Amino acid sequence: MSSNADLAIIGGGPGGYVAALRGAQLGAKVILIEREQLGGVCLNWGCIPTKALLWSAEVLALVKKASTFGVLTERTHLDWPAAQARKQEVVTRLVKGVEKLLSRAGVTVVRGTARLASHRTVEVTEVDRVVERITADSIIVATGSQAVDLPIQGLKEPCSLSSKSALSLEELPQSLLVVGGGAVGVEFATLFNLCGVQVTLVEMLPRLVPTLDHDIGKALAWALSEQGVAVHTSARVTRCAAGGHDCRVTIATADREHQIDVEKVLVAVGRRPNVEGIGLEDIGVNYDNKGIQVDETMSTSVAGVYAVGDVTGGIMLAHVASHQGIVAAESALGYPAEMRYDAVPKCIFSHPEVASVGLSEEEARRRGYDVRVGKFPLLNNGMALVRGETAGFVKIVAEAHLGRVLGLHIVAPHASDLILEGTMALTMEATLDEFIATIHPHPTLSEAIAEAALAAEKRALRILTRPDRQ
């Protein structure tokens, strides 16, 4: 079977399906090829199911401390199968929503495995048989990424978990060791700890979430430790030995080794682009193990072929993929569009949440900026006290001469929502004065952002506690 299109898209994740919707919106005939579930990893096995389970865990944690707020409860416990069922309901509803959006937009969805046959042709196979050949004016590659497999000596099933299998556990383990202290590892450590699992978190580098501002890593380690997670930084898992229902794990630091017994080990050390087996080398697209090389319009080295999302490497976030998808669709259809990365928000749904946008303090100094920093602890925020959640802070990094905001870093409840103020500020090149002049509602957590801006100007009004105390 042969088909023609203005735009053919390989992959139906956040980058691919958004590109398809934008292309259809611009009047193009669009064909989208997906071999598994629409929505990709994020919707089916990543962002959404993780957050659905995390919300169940957050509700449990809140109910457990209800008496603090004068609310008495009895026999509070987690029904894990019910939480899993609710997670799946949310995922199913959103997948069906994506299907309806594509259908209403007139996008043709083809099921199967795609391979580039030329810079204008995509072959779709099922069970090693070509079932469709699609000719298109432009092609967008959005094949996503997969979890990195860390070869730890002796680690094997049934002890071993992946981020995907961890979301499908039929019952909670008694204990869990998480390898990797990045965003994914921290979220899983938070989830299972709040659910009552004894959690150990091991990070090879000196601090958690090492790509974010150093104060965030310190605050997260403190918060997780306070909640009962055993946090080990500057440490490596060197080997495992399965025995009975447990796995004996050896953890090595600079000066010693020690062993602990856990029921499950979850490896969460990052992801790698899906660049193999899709025909990139056959048509001359430049790529390496870090991803497909693209420019600011999401164009590859081959005219008419674009790439978006995790397969391009770089910032592997769903909202980045979606924005890249829009840029690629517009570029492919002749509209001026470019991707910029100086205002990309990064969120971690830990407890408390973490969010960051722009430059960290150390990165700003490394780039040669004369830096002004303002930090405001949540312990001095009225709404944080009302909620009983005072662990955290807001930190603003600004250029000293004109006060232009370079970065905003938040550890707080709803940090993922609060960070939008910083994202808008960086997009619009705002200054500290503009943060200060903006009236923030009271009592809200957002007031901490204005106070951090005041602190950067050495004009803080509501700091009773030293900003370096969490």
C-alpha dihedral (114, 116, 117, 118), degrees to nearest 10: 150
Sequence-distant (6+) residues with CB within 8 A of 393 are 215, 219, 375, 376, 377, 378, 410, 411, 412, 448, 452, 467, 470
What DSSP state is assigned to residue 66?
A: G
Using an 8 Å Cβ cutoff, are 177 and 249 in contact? Answer: yes
Q: Any idea how long the chain is?
A: 470
| Residue 268 region by backbone torsions, left for phi larger than 0, else alpha for psi between -120 and 50, else beta | beta
What is the set of active-site residues?
A: 442
Give which of 313, 284, 288, 283 is closest to 298, Cα–Cα.
313
Distance CA 74, CA 53 (A): 22
Distance CA 44, CA 37 (A): 7
> Which tokens sit at 36?
């598994």
> Which tokens sit at 235?
């440490």
Sequence-distant (6+) residues with CB within 8 A of 194 are 54, 57, 58, 60, 61, 227, 351
Give which of 440, 458, 461, 457 is closest to 449, Cα–Cα.
440
Q: Which residue has the tokens 């399965």?
A: 242
Residue 282's H or E segment, with its range, is helix 280-283
